[in-house]
Structure 1
Amino acid sequence: MCIDWITKVSLISRVRAKIKSIRNRRQQAVYGGQLPVYPKSGDGGLKIHLGAGPINIQGWISIDARQAPHIHLRSEGFALNEFADSAVSEIYMCHVLEHFSFEEVGEILRNFRKKLKVGGVLRLSVPDFDRLVTIYHANGDNLELIKLALMGGQDYEYNFHKSVFNRAALASLLASCGFEHMAEWNTVEEFGAHLGDWSETGFRTPKGEFPVSLNMKAIKAQG
């Protein structure tokens, strides 16, 4: 039993080290610049990447709470006051919405809809609570493994999670904010390139690698 316990502690330590390494590389990329990602050509409309972090999608306006060479606009609340209503073609947020409280997310999504033009697309990627539960049970009900994905790294001011989502909850929330045609999406199919963010990154555990994200898009179908 002593050997099993030591093995378990070792595995947990390795997982923590891996997560910390990924986080550190991303933070270093933010401050040192990031190689650009060239997505497939779209309609040429105004595209906004909110909470861009180290991801530098060419042709998109990158907005983040922290400054970096590729960030065009620094903003914490993402009110998008700099953009006219019904002017934006696409908005993308990856593992950002959960950093706002459940009291705020409805207002935020309604504002995104206001900024999108008719036919505009909102793409979201968030931690999927149902998948986190699967990871939790598959790894012997080990809360430590999902703690960061569930509650955020909590290592700097903005890295705290305040909302949780699964497919049903997010689809319902989007519908209540006036969006239509909710559907799950795949990173390469939508962007034509690997972005290197959580929308396509698996979660490695002692029991294997698991998907962790819920990718959902929605349309502003009418004014």
Structure 2
Amino acid sequence: MKLHIGGQEKKEGWKILNIQKENNVDFVGDIKDLSQFSDNSVEEIYASHVLEHVEQQKVNDTLKGIYRVLKQDGKFYVSVPDLDVLCRLFIHKDAPANIKFHCMRMMFGGQTDEYDFHYFGWNFGFLNDYLKRAGFKEIKKVDTFSLFNDTSDFAPYGVKISLNVIATK
């Protein structure tokens, strides 16, 4: 099984886990609790702009849960707002207020519903350290996954605002 956490787009070979029951959702649940899945049962996990919604004190356990359900040599595709990029855009001397406001929302969440809040600001250093602590053996930053049409490739101001990483169990 391949698991798309937080997804909405149906794609052949992938099952969708989402915290909200919507069209195309196969499993209702939270990235913080993957207990509905057996150990070593998932080939690949994809989570785009989901991990930042996990409270700081729950990040370690969440990543260990992802590691637990992945098969040996399984891949975790994770995309998060890149705090380094967003900060550069935010403090740029020529950035207009609307761009600064949009960057701020990417940092703290759009806050459009009870789930749309960000608890963690990620950069590669933080993500690399947390993934290593969870047990991942290979961690690689990539430009794109080319898997789903989502915010992992979002470049509203000429630069991608997402940090895209593939971690291998």
TM-score by length of 2: 0.91
CA distance in 2, matches of 1:104, 1:139: 36
Structure 1 counterpart of 2:156, one-letter code:
F
Distance 1:140 1:213, change over 3 A: same
The partner residue of 1:184 within 106, 122, 141 is 141
Matches within 5 A, 1:146-185: 146-185=103-142
Of Structure 1 and Structure 2, which has the larger fraction of its residues in helix? 1
Q: Which residue is equivalent to 1:218? A: 167
Calculate the aligned-residue CA RMSD, in Å.
1.5
Supply the AA of the counterpart residue of 1:158. Y
Unaligned runs of 5+ in 2: none
Matched, 1:118 2:118: no
Q: Aligned residue pairs: how many?
A: 165
Contact 2:32 2:65 in 1 (8 A): no
Supply the AA of the counterpart residue of 2:160. Answer: P
SS at match of 1:154: coil
Ranges in structure 1 where 5+ consecutive residues have no aligned partner: 1-45
- 1:196 corresponds to: 149
- The yes-or-no answer on 1:49 pairing with 2:4 is yes
| Per-residue deviation, 1:78 | 4.4
Q: 1:70 aligns with which of 21, 24, 28?
A: 24
Provide the identity percentage.
28
What one-letter code is carried by the residue in structure 1 that aligns with 2:137?
E
Runs of 4+ in 1 over 4 A off after TM superposition: none
Deviations 1:70-128 (A, max 9, x none): 10111135422222101111111000000011111110000111111111111100000
Whether the aligned pair in 2 keeps the contact of 1:50 and 1:78 (CA below 8 Å) is: no
| AA in 2 matched with 1:62 | I
Distance 2:160 2:109 in 1: 17
Indicate the structure (1 or 2) with the bigger Cα radius of gyration: 1
